[in-house]
A and B are shown apart, each in its own frame.
Chain A
Amino acid sequence: MVVALSATAIVVLALLWEISMPWIDRRLEVRRAKRELRRAGDRGAAYDPGRERRAEQRARELLRSCVNEEEWAMYRDLGFLRVWGNQSDPDGARDLRGVDYAYLIYAHKPIVAYLPQTGRLLNEYCVEFPDETRPYGSPRLPDSDDVLAKWMALQGDERRLILEANLHLPGRQIDPRQVQRDIWRLGRWERERIARALRAGEEQLAEPADG
């Protein structure tokens, strides 16, 4: 009797196993697919306009807190920064001995070196700051962080940054006409800024002194 019941139980269990296996397989397949989707979702979330906008907003605040007021206004109004070069030592052995030169810093574009006195473009320095941890799939910093990284690296160790960069002649990545136009815009912007400051100073002087 016991043997018969045991045999029946084994048969029932075997049948249940047979019946449930496809169901278990399907469940496992669904879970696997969901996991894949989640992974793909993480990669797919590389571009979320809201997140990127918030990141850029934070980056702008950080940039603003680090650079000079004039530089912040320049970036806000013109979309790029100018940084003066530090290697024009009059006694130096370089080509730029005693000649003022500067860099234009654009977000996610090469740094452009030029001579402010003549507007002549010198070089493009292609440099990136890739974060290979790729928290959202992309190694690219927000635009303003990229600009700040370039600004800090130029300020902190110009030679080191230039050595890391790929050097190209002007026009490799940025249209020289656009750079010339930006240099012209920068000149006009500076003249207007100086004129405004002078007007404000004159108005302050013209105000009658209180008590």
Chain B
Amino acid sequence: MKLLRMRPGFGEQLIAEGDVEIAADEQALIEAFRDQLAQGMWAAVPTTRSDGRREAELVREFGEIPRDTPRVIFFPRAAGGAA
């Protein structure tokens, strides 16, 4: 699983990568996940439905991420703009 973060001037950046079936990797991923959320990021998991349609889920806890998902994308939380 890869944790990616959108960054101004970069595109996406790799935050962490590991195998969730390996305890040490999973722990590192959990910590990186929590760290991103603590920084105010939203986390999205791109998904593909059984009919092939692509969607995304927003997740708030590491446990909500499907174990077999290849990537989680972090992006800054939404804020009302140009009021």
Assuming the contacts A149-B75, A152-B73, asked whether A54 and B11 have C-beta atoms less than 8 A apart, the reply is yes
Q: From DSSP, what is the main secondary structure of chain B's interface residues?
A: strand
B76 to chain A: which residues have CB within 8 Å? Answer: 129-132, 139, 141, 149
User: What number of A-B contacts does a CB cutoff of 8 Å give?
Assistant: 131
The complex places the Cα of A48 from the Cα of B10 at a distance, in Å, of 11
Q: A68-B54, A128-B79 are in contact. Are A59 and B8 (CB under 8 A)?
A: no
From known contacts A127-B79, A149-B75, A161-B78, infer whether A66 and B12 are also in contact, taking CB-CB under 8 Å. no
Beyond the given A48-B9, A62-B4, A129-B79, could you list 5 further A-B residue pairs with CB under 8 A, ordered by the A residue number?
A51-B9, A55-B7, A55-B11, A129-B77, A135-B10
What residues make up the interface of B, taking CB atoms closer than 8 Å to A?
A: 4, 6-12, 39-40, 42, 44, 46, 53-58, 73, 75-83
Interface residues of A (CB under 8 A from B): 46, 48, 51-52, 54-59, 61-62, 65-68, 110, 126-136, 138-142, 145, 148-149, 151-153, 155-157, 160-161, 164-166, 172-173
